[in-house]
């Protein structure tokens, strides 16, 4: 069985969610080849081998740096044909989902996204996907010859015990028609750790009382090596940038730990975080709805609790 994995990269490194997709493919068995598109160093690409890929195809064309969906779908489809791959694995993401959907239509492949476990091949090809914002699972049979699997972040363990992968230059046929859509500008989220890739997220709500108090949120996040987030009302009134808005209409996260500070726990916010492995809520209102969804809770004034928590973590790190 030959499996192709589309791996995304940013800031010169492979994304953790894509490396998880490589480990997922390796756990399925068979020969795993990864494909990377755009400008990235050969040394960075070799890291895919530690996650389980034997080879990385690299399409080093600057025209592809902006993530044109039609062009990416064409390139990856050609790579599948070159490698004789009947299965494409990729991380569920804002880029991966539309690319996978276009490839599905192009090659007649069955596509299932948000997959949370390895496939069951005892009787066909059945995958388990997370639905209803993580509240339930659906078992889906894929009956097509070619299959595309979108892997949910943190759904599988990242393995990093392999050897460096070999990197092979790949030059697919691309035309002007692949670039019929033009990206004229991009607004990228900034920060030491970005929300979609974060293992820990520290978020604040209106209980923080104002943007001038966000320093203690940022200090706790920096101490934990976490990304910062916020509730929708906070971004709506301009206390924090919109790319930090976590919730049903914002960024949906599934970190190992989500820390909610001064957030009441509206259902729209919970829908964006309930895939988190662990949730810690800090709120002075003992009746805040968020406590019902929390694994751990601290009832107390955030302005007293958070500095003490940060100090305690720093002391433990020494």
pLDDT tens digits along 251-295: 889 899 999 999 999 999 999 998 899 999 999 999 999 999 999
Is the pLDDT assigned to residue 184 strictly greater than 80? Answer: no
What's the length of the chain?
Answer: 318
pLDDT level of residue 71 (50, 70, 90 thresholds): very high
Class of 195-317 in CATH = alpha beta
Report the distance separating Cα 306 and Cα 75, nearest Å. 48
Looking at residue 188, its pLDDT comes to 61
Class of 2-179 in CATH = alpha beta
Question: In Å, what is the CA distance from 170 to each residue of 67, 76, 174, 229, 258?
Answer: 17, 11, 12, 38, 40
User: Among residues 77, 96, 116, 270, which one has the least CA distance to residue 196?
Assistant: 96
- E strands, 7-125, are 9-10, 13-14, 31-37, 55-59, 87-91, 110-115
Q: What is the pLDDT of residues 123-179, one digit of tens each?
A: 999 999 988 877 789 999 999 999 999 999 888 889 888 899 999 999 999 888 888
Looking at residue 75, its pLDDT comes to 97
Looking at residue 290, its pLDDT comes to 96
Is the pLDDT assigned to residue 187 strictly greater than 70? Answer: no
CB 115 within 8 Å of CB 129:
yes
Looking at residue 129, its pLDDT comes to 95
Is the pLDDT assigned to residue 190 strictly greater than 60? Answer: no
Looking at residue 265, its pLDDT comes to 94
| 2-179 and 195-317 agree in CATH topology | yes
Looking at residue 192, its pLDDT comes to 60
User: Which position has the higher pLDDT, 1 or 78?
Assistant: 78
Is the pLDDT assigned to residue 312 strictly greater than 70? Answer: yes
Report the distance separating Cα 208 and Cα 19, nearest Å. 36
Question: In Å, what is the CA distance from 243 to each residue of 53, 91, 142?
Answer: 32, 20, 35
Q: What is the mean pLDDT of residues 13-39?
A: 95
Q: What is the pLDDT of residues 40-52, one digit of tens each?
A: 999 999 999 999 9
265: Cα separation from own chain's centroid = 23
| Element of type H or E holding 291 | none
Is the pLDDT assigned to residue 4 strictly greater than 70? Answer: yes
Percentage of residues of the chain with pLDDT beyond 70? 97
pLDDT level of residue 183 (50, 70, 90 thresholds): confident
R_g of the chain computed on alpha carbons: 21
Domain ranges, ordered by start, for the chain: 2-179, 195-317
Give the CA angle between residues 181, 191, 40 to the nearest 5°.
55
Looking at residue 191, its pLDDT comes to 58
Report the distance separating Cα 115 and Cα 149, nearest Å. 7
């Amino acid at each position: 069985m030959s499996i192709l994995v589309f791996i995304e990269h940013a800031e010169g490194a492979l994304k953790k969610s894509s490396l998880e997709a490589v480990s997922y493919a390796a756990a399925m068995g068979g020969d795993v080849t990864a494909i990377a598109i755009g400008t990235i160093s050969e040394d960075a690409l070799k890291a895919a081998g530690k996650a389980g890929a034997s080879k990385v195809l690299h399409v080093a064309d600057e025209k592809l740096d902006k993530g044109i969906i039609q062009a990416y779908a064409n390139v990856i489809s050609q790579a599948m044909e070159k490698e004789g791959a009947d299965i494409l694995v990729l991380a569920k993401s804002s880029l991966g989902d539309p690319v996978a959907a276009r490839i599905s239509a192009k090659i007649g492949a069955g596509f299932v996204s948000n997959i949370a476990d390895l496939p069951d091949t005892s009787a066909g090809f059945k995958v388990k996907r997370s639905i209803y914002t993580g509240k339930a699972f659906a078992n889906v049979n894929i009956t097509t010859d070619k299959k595309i699997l979108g892997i949910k972040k943190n759904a599988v363990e990242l393995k990093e015990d392999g050897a460096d992968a070999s990197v092979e230059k790949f030059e697919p046929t691309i035309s002007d028609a692949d670039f019929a859509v033009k990206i004229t500008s991009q607004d990228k989220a900034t920060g030491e750790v970005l929300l979609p890739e974060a293992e820990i997220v520290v978020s604040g709500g209106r209980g923080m009382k104002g943007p001038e108090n966000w320093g203690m949120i940022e200090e706790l996040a920096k101490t934990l090596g976490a990304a910062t987030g916020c509730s929708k009302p906070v971004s709506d009134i301009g206390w924090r940038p919109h790319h930090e808005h976590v919730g049903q209409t914002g960024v949906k996260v599934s970190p190992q730990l989500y820390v909610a500070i001064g957030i009441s726990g509206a259902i729209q916010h919970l829908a964006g975080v309930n895939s988190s492995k662990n949730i810690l809520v800090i709120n002075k209102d003992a009746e805040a709805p968020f406590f019902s969804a929390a694994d751990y809770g601290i009832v107390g004034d955030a302005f007293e609790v958070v500095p003490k928590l940060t100090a305690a973590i720093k002391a433990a790190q020494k």
